[in-house]
């Protein structure tokens, strides 16, 4: 490049332009391979904030997943399946191909992450993660009939497992990931509330069995039979297929109904508190990042607030090239 054209180019960019190109050969091939690998990783595995390719990829995968789940549901309608068989089949094949390519690419680029940097054991560890297992289960129904001889009735059951693709939304939806973090954070409290519910079902079914067995020996034949009544009563559903007829049974039923409202409110309160804490944590982290980091509006570079002055100076600093003197 002509030195005269570099007069107004900042130093930090001019140095890059003046660097000699690397020699062609195997090293350049390796560099291109690693660059491509990192680019794919950037699109498939990194956060979508400020990452347009990753956001578009997520939108496409979400659309494909929702379309597949809708087709699995609509295929159960006989006249729709008969009329649009080839459309459903085409979408199914395209989706299996897309999900297969996605799964292979994720196995390929996972070694870019420091957690799975080993080419062999790293990929094995990644393949056993929950999201990778979901990806594998999403494509398994298509390939199993080609590997093992399967009865047609069992094949229909396997095809229904395509509905598991809906779990893939957890990889692309921040809301679903937030819900997963809340469940993981509050798992002890949720286990306690579930234990309370099971104890309440056991106690209610036992009391109702002894109160109603003599009056209704068929409906309340045993404590396990009475557990169905206890469950629908605690859930305040009350299907009406089983209900007490004795005075003692009605008193127990009223108490169980009131207790059920309180018991089923416990997990709701735990999850609501977890969502509130997670939202507050995200807001604090975002505010902390904004205070500690600055984004250059010119080049998009991220740096700390203490480096902002030197970074601005690097943008504005220019060197003046003196033309060589004419000795003639």
Model confidence over 267-302: pLDDT tens digits? Answer: 888 888 888 888 888 777 777 766 666 556 555 555
Tokens of 147: 């590997």
pTM: 0.57
Query: In the prediction, which pLDDT does 202 show?
Result: 92
Beta bridge partners of 294: 303
Query: In the prediction, which pLDDT does 14 show?
Result: 45
Give yes or no for a contact between 303 and 311, defined as CB atoms under 8 angstroms apart.
yes
Which residue in the block uniquely carries the two structure tokens 């309440």?
Answer: 200
Query: In the prediction, which pLDDT does 276 show?
Result: 87
Query: In the prediction, which pLDDT does 251 show?
Result: 93
Query: In the prediction, which pLDDT does 233 show?
Result: 87
Beta bridge partners of 162: none
Q: How far apart are alpha carbons 165 and 154 in whole angstroms? A: 19
Query: In the prediction, which pLDDT does 208 show?
Result: 92
Q: Is the dihedral of CA 273, 274, 279, 280 positive or negative?
A: positive
Query: In the prediction, which pLDDT does 62 show?
Result: 83
| Opening angle at CA 313, ends 310 and 319, nearest 5 | 130
Helices (H) and strands (E) in the chain, counts: 14, 2
Stretches in the chain below the pLDDT threshold 70: 1-31, 47-50, 149-167, 169-173, 289-328
Tokens of 72: 């699995």
Query: In the prediction, which pLDDT does 156 show?
Result: 58
- Residue by residue, DSSP assigns 79-91 as HHHHHSHHHHHHH
Beta bridge partners of 302: 295
The secondary structure of the chain in percent helix, strand, coil, rounded to multiples of 5, reads: 75, 0, 25
């Amino acid at each position: 490049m002509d030195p005269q054209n570099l007069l107004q180019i900042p130093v930090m960019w001019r140095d890059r332009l003046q660097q000699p190109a690397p020699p062609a050969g195997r090293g350049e091939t390796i560099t291109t391979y690693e660059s491509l690998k990192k680019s794919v990783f950037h699109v498939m595995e990194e956060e979508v904030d400020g990452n347009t390719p990753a956001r578009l990829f997520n939108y496409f995968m979400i659309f494909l997943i929702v379309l597949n789940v809708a087709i699995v549901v609509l295929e159960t309608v006989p006249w729709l399946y008969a009329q649009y068989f080839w459309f459903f089949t085409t979408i199914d094949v395209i989706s299996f191909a897309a999900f297969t390519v996605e799964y292979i690419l994720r196995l390929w680029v996972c070694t870019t992450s420091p957690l799975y940097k080993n080419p062999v054991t790293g990929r094995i560890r990644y393949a056993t993660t929950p999201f990778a297992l979901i990806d594998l289960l999403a494509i398994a129904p298509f390939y199993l009939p080609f590997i093992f001889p399967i009865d047609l009735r069992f094949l229909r059951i396997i095809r229904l497992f395509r509905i598991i693709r809906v779990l893939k939304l957890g990889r692309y939806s921040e809301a679903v990931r937030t819900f997963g973090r809340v469940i993981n954070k509050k798992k002890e409290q949720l286990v306690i509330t579930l234990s309370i519910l099971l104890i309440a079902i056991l106690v209610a079914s036992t009391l109702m069995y002894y109160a109603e067995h003599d009056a209704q020996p068929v409906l309340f034949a045993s404590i396990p039979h009475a557990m169905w009544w206890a469950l629908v009563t605690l859930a305040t559903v009350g299907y009406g297929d089983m209900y007490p007829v004795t005075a003692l049974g009605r008193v127990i039923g009223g108490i169980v109904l009131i207790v059920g409202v309180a018991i089923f409110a416990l997990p709701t309160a735990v999850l609501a508190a977890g969502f509130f804490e997670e939202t507050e944590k995200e807001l604090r982290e975002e505010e902390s990042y904004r205070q500690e980091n600055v984004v250059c509006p010119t080049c998009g570079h991220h740096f700390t607030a203490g480096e902002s002055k030197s970074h601005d100076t690097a943008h504005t600093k220019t060197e003046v090239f003196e033309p060589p003197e004419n000795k003639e």
